[in-house]
Amino acid sequence: MDALLLVAAVTLYAAGVGLAARAFARHDRRMHRAALAVLAGGAAVNLAAWLLPGVREARLPLADLRELLTGLAWLIVSLHVGIALRAGLEAMSLIVPPFATVLLLGASGLSTPVQSRPAGGPLFVAHTVTATAGLAALGLAFTMSVVYLLQDRVLKRKRSFGLLERLPSLDTSDRIGFQALAWGFGLLTAAIVTGVLWNAIAHGRLWSARPKESFPLLAWIVLSALLYARLARGYRGRRCAYLVIVGFVFALASVVGIAR
Amino acid sequence: MILLLGVSHRTAPVQLRERLALPERDVPQVLPRLRGAAAAREAWLLSTCNRVEVLLDTEETDAAAASLVAFFCRERGLSPAELEASLYRHEGPDAVRHLLRVASGLDSMILGEPQILGQVKRAHHLAREAGTLGPVLERLLQRCLAVAKRVRAETGISRHALSVAHAAVELARKVVGELAGQSVLVVGAGKMSALTARYLAGAGAQLVVTSRRYEKAEALAARFGGRAVAWNEFDRWLARACAVISGTAAPGIVLDAARVAAAMRERHQRPLFLVDVAVPRDVDPEVHRIENVYLYDIDDLEGVVARNLDQRRLAASQALPILEEEVARFEHWRRSLQVTPTIVRLREVWLERARAELQRQRRRLGPLDDAQATQLEQLVSAIVRKMLHRPTEYLRRRGEQTDAAGLVALYREIFELDAAGPDAAETGVSALPSEKDEPR
């Protein structure tokens, strides 16, 4: 049943992306809205696939990598649908949902049985929720940085934009990316603090050198340096985009570390 | 049959086009006379600086074409040879196709330019005002406007800028997003700067103009509602503006890499879009190497325009299937018109004959009450309708597929439609299939 739901969500996402591609090629705004509706339907199924096992077993649905990726995919697509409904950004429907679809496909490929975990109470809930939401926000910032770098490259090389033509401008991708980064950083900080406290309570130690504990710290260092440069010095542009990508990769690596 | 005659920038020099062109205010008077002269059912006229075209719905296309040429020669003092040398003529589906191409901007001097759609729309209103449109041209023009909009939306043909100034503004948008309310520094007050400034002002940008001669900067700023600043404020605005357009008459480099690098530090690396429209160039090409700075000179912009033209050509080729689909649909609808009067008449005549026959036989049937009489009449009508159903459907189907004039004549003979009494109802415009009946 859960696997079926995942397959249904992936199928709906794929259909939504296909429709969005058609809308993009035909410059059809209404069709793009239809694509967003299909993506929203996919997100609803994705949400069900994510929450049902937890509801059945009366636990938080973030017990393993499969559940985390499923939740992350849902968050990313929901965020995208919400933003795209207000801001248009047709081209982004060809980038963000496919990314989430890959996450979901990854999740459906994993069949990790739910491991029994020490009950963490509210602290564990806070940790997993902030970590997942933070990762989703950083995922959006990452996407915007990729969009920024692609366009920077085209502008510098003075090439034809081709299909990149309707991506949001450098300024817009920078702005949305920065907002997502600010949220992502705040949530990541909260996730690290709650994670450390939970660790202390559950395992009696604050920190260990395991990947899932060291990568978030690396991500936090990179992103805090970036935010300092941006907020205090106003720095932006290509190098900032690279740093966002590095920060996100570290943050993602910590998720992969969960499976270990 | 639809007939289209015209001259355009492709076939006629401007000297001929300007003699044929009609001022808008004259169109409502000229159209009825033109329709009368060509003995056409319906007439429409498009007159722009690049083309004069007349669209007619007429039985006799050759006679109508000759009359139309004579009409224009008489009205405009031209010799027939002079006009005919530049005149093109399209009939039936070709005329429809041509009109769709024109309205979609595919036949325009600047491929895909959108103004022509407004001109076609205006000409449509004028012809309506003049009362020279009937169901055929009315429908054709409506479809034409809808298709032109669809072509624009689906192929994006009008999106790619075809002038250097327009291309510069489009590129600026890729860097800074919407220009409305953003400051753009215009350096130099020459012709190219002014041209680019016009596009920038049109996009809502706040222009800040500087020039070595302050009064020239003031004059340009005044034209586009911007502000003029002194030449020594150049660097201050270089650090503040979202884009810079430079087009001075200076013989050498006005802006070097060191100054731009300094401005970038002050801008905290906020991206800067620089356009150098001057020849010789104002901005050191090395500036483009600086991170987050994008410098485009006149050659780069011309390269963009050339690529954009290719894009428009590609879009034009993508538009062709859309036009063909519409040509086929319109032809389909128009053919169905040939058979509709016959179908209507067939039903009316035979219902009338059946009722007359019933009246004659009533005496033999003995006394009938009202309900029985009505029932009998309904029965007879139902039989007639049922018998005519297949022949009617056949005629309708064939009419949509091919030219059905022969079949129509055959039906009229077999079913004795022309021999029917004078009381048989006249059919005409009211019998035209409506939008709802349209085969899709």
Q: What is the pLDDT of residue A56?
A: 85
**Average pLDDT of every residue of chain A:** 84
Q: Chain A contact for B292, CB < 8 A?
A: yes
Are B192 and B278 in contact by the 8 Å Cβ rule? The answer is yes
Q: How far apart are CA B83 and CA B64, in angstroms?
A: 15
Q: What is the pLDDT of residue B381?
A: 92
From the list B176, B266, B183, B289, the residue with the least C-alpha distance to A235 is B266
Segment A60-89 mean pLDDT = 82
List pLDDT tens digits, range A162-208. Answer: 767 778 889 888 988 999 999 999 999 999 998 888 888 877 777 77
Give pLDDT tens digits along chain B (440 positions).
899 999 999 999 988 998 898 888 899 999 999 999 999 999 999 999 899 999 999 988 999 999 999 999 998 888 999 899 999 999 999 999 999 999 999 999 889 888 899 999 999 999 999 999 998 999 999 999 999 999 988 888 888 888 888 889 889 998 998 899 899 999 998 888 888 888 899 889 999 999 999 999 999 999 999 999 999 999 999 999 999 999 998 898 999 999 999 999 998 888 999 999 988 899 999 999 999 999 999 999 999 889 889 889 999 999 999 999 999 999 888 888 888 888 989 999 999 999 998 888 888 888 888 898 899 899 999 999 999 999 999 988 888 777 778 888 899 899 988 865 444 433 333 344 444 444 43
Q: Chain A contact for B265, CB < 8 A?
A: no
- A-B CB pairs within 8 A amount to 63
At position A200, the amino acid (one-letter code) is A
| Maximum pairwise Cα distance, chain A | 59
Q: Chain A contact for B347, CB < 8 A?
A: no
What chain B residue is nearest to A31 in terms of C-alpha separation? B154
Are B104 and B319 in contact by the 8 Å Cβ rule? The answer is yes
ipTM over 0.85: no
Higher local confidence (pLDDT), B421 or A146: A146
- Cβ distance A239 to B176 less than 8 Å, yes or no, reads no
- Cβ distance B153 to A172 less than 8 Å, yes or no, reads no
List pLDDT tens digits, range B97-155. Answer: 999 999 999 999 889 888 899 999 999 999 999 999 998 999 999 999 999 999 988 88
Q: Chain A contact for B175, CB < 8 A?
A: yes
Q: What is the pLDDT of residue B64?
A: 93
Residues of B in contact with A27 (CB under 8 A): 153-156
Q: What is the pLDDT of residue B440?
A: 37
Whether the predicted pLDDT of A60 surpasses 80: no
Q: What is the pLDDT of residue B241?
A: 95
Segment A242-251 mean pLDDT = 91
- Cβ distance B173 to A238 less than 8 Å, yes or no, reads no
Q: Which residues of B are part of the catalytic machinery?
A: 49
At position B145, the amino acid (one-letter code) is L
Q: Chain A contact for B269, CB < 8 A?
A: yes
What is the least distance, in Å, from the CA of B436 to any CA of chain A? 24
- Cβ distance A26 to B270 less than 8 Å, yes or no, reads no
What chain B residue is nearest to A148 in terms of C-alpha separation? B175
H-type alpha helices, A158-258: 170-203, 211-233, 238-258
From the list B332, B328, B350, B333, the residue with the least C-alpha distance to B411 is B350
